[in-house]
Amino acid sequence: MANRRVGFCLSDEKKKRMNLSTFAEFCRLRGTEVVEIDLSQPMESQGPFDVIVHKLSDVIVEAEHDSQSRTLLSNFQEYVSAHSHTVLLDPLPAMTQLLDRFASYRIMNKLQKSLRDWGICSPPYLEINTGDPSAIREAVERKRLSYPLICKTRVAHGSGSHEMSLIFSAKGLGDAGPPCVLQSFVNHGAVLHKVFVVGEAHFTVERPSLRNFALGPCDRETIFFNSHEVSKPESCSHLTALDENTPRLPPPSQEVMVAMVKELRRELGMALFGVDVIVNIQTRALTIIDINIFPGYEGVPQFFSSLLSHIESVLEHRETASLLPSPMVP
């Protein structure tokens, strides 16, 4: 069997979290060599690669203000453009847009139109670029956003990006620090469904989530929280505790999940991503609240085998495509 070489370009933290060395051994036993790419060294001497899997989120965000990161990123891009035979998982522009909540919420809004027949939606939201509470108030009223509102930073990557707040009335709008998005809060019985996609396959795990709140404006102080205290497997917070009388909703139907994942894959052009969905307790609509790049796949024991299968299938496609006659040039 031909030995395939797959380069992984990940931060040390991500390598540890995904257990890259165990995955490398898993691949080695199946005829695929995993190579850890060191971005600070010339890519040429580390190649050739059949596939490169990467999560360059840190570098992309840092490149905005740091010239060293900009150089690393452009060396990487140059290598990829010069080696069209190497398959990149996933394309850089597709990933970059998900690091910006303004861009990712526009995608969710667009998907909502193509998925309306499946009853899939995403909560109404506003892009906030001003710190002027009266301007924000006007925009909230114009858009008819319902309270409570959840406020999320525009940047979707890095430690600060998980600092959020719940705003209960116009009085709290001064707590929305721009640039950010304000999104209507949807009661969902404190259950988050994390959908993890690997190529054609997807897996769903349940996580704790924010509890229900009374709908409509109320005289309550803004609640500031970190989303990682809420929706990690080990999260346990007073914000996620439901009272015992709250009925549990049935999980979303597989058919609807399949339709959503298929449409997202087509729209994003990505293979490794996650979608966070909740079920609206009033309307039962499957509601998309977040799309994540190359997520942790925690609670998905099939992750290694699915990732290797996806890499193999991508390469099979590449080989079949190279056997086809090239299009005629007039």
Ligand X SMILES: Nc1ncnc2c1ncn2[C@@H]1O[C@H](COP(=O)(O)OP(=O)(O)OP(=O)(O)O)[C@@H](O)[C@H]1O
Q: How far is the CB of 271 from ligand X (least distance, A)?
A: 18
Q: State the Cα–Cα distance between residues 44 and 229, nearest whole angstrom.
A: 42
Both tokens of residue 15? 């390598």
Residue 183 lies near ligand X (rule: CB under 6 A)? yes
Binding residue per annotation — 19? no
> Of these, 147, 168, 185, 294, which contacts ligand X (CB under 6 A)?
185
Which span (32-40, 112-120, 129-137, 288-296) binds ligand X, by CB under 6 A?
A: 288-296
Binding residue per annotation — 35? no
> Of these, 123, 172, 199, 252, which contacts ligand X (CB under 6 A)?
123
Binding residue per annotation — 192? yes
Give the residue from 101, 96, 292 showing the smallest Cα distance to 182: 101
Residue 286 lies near ligand X (rule: CB under 6 A)? no
Binding residue per annotation — 186? yes
Binding residue per annotation — 198? no
Pick 69 or 184: Cβ nearer ligand X? 184
Which span (76-84, 180-188, 268-276, 318-326) binds Mg ion, by CB under 5 A?
A: 268-276
Residue 230 lies near ligand X (rule: CB under 6 A)? yes
Selection from Mg ion, ligand X, none that 162 binds (CB < 5 to 8 A by kind) is ligand X
> Of these, 88, 156, 275, 279, which contacts ligand X (CB under 6 A)?
156
Q: How far is the CB of 156 from ligand X (least distance, A)?
A: 6
Binding residue per annotation — 28? no
Residue 152 lies near ligand X (rule: CB under 6 A)? yes
Residue 231 lies near ligand X (rule: CB under 6 A)? yes
> Of these, 9, 27, 39, 192, which contacts ligand X (CB under 6 A)?
192
Selection from ligand X, Mg ion, none that 152 binds (CB < 5 to 8 A by kind) is ligand X
Q: How far is the CB of 308 from ligand X (least distance, A)?
A: 25
Could you tell me the CA-to-CA distances from 124 to 88, 105, 266 in Å, in that order? Answer: 34, 9, 23
Which span (50-58, 224-232, 264-272, 310-318) binds ligand X, by CB under 6 A?
A: 224-232
Residue 290 lies near Mg ion (rule: CB under 5 A)? yes
SS (H, E, C) the chain: CCCEEEEEECCHHHHHHHCHHHHHHHHHCCCEEEEECCCCCCCHHHCCCCEEEECCHHHHHHCCCCHHHHHHHHHHHHHHHHCCCCEEECCHHHHHHCCEHHHHHHHHHHHHHHCHHHCEECCCEEEECCCCHHHHHHHHHHHCCCCCEEEEECECCCHHHHEEEEECCHHHHHHCCCCEEEEECCCCCCEEEEEEEECCEEEEEEEECCCCCCCCCCCCCCEEEEHHHCCCCCCCCCCCCCCCCCCCCCCCCHHHHHHHHHHHHHHHCCCEEEEEEEECCCCCCEEEEEEEECCCCCCCCCHHHHHHHHHHHHHHHHHHHHHCCCCCCC
CB nearest Mg ion: which residue? 290
| Phi, psi (deg, nearest 5) at residue 215 | -80, 150
Residues that bind Mg ion (CB under 5 A): 276, 290
Residues that bind ligand X (CB under 6 A): 123, 150, 152, 156, 162, 183, 185-186, 188, 192, 209-210, 227, 230-231, 276, 278, 289-290, 292
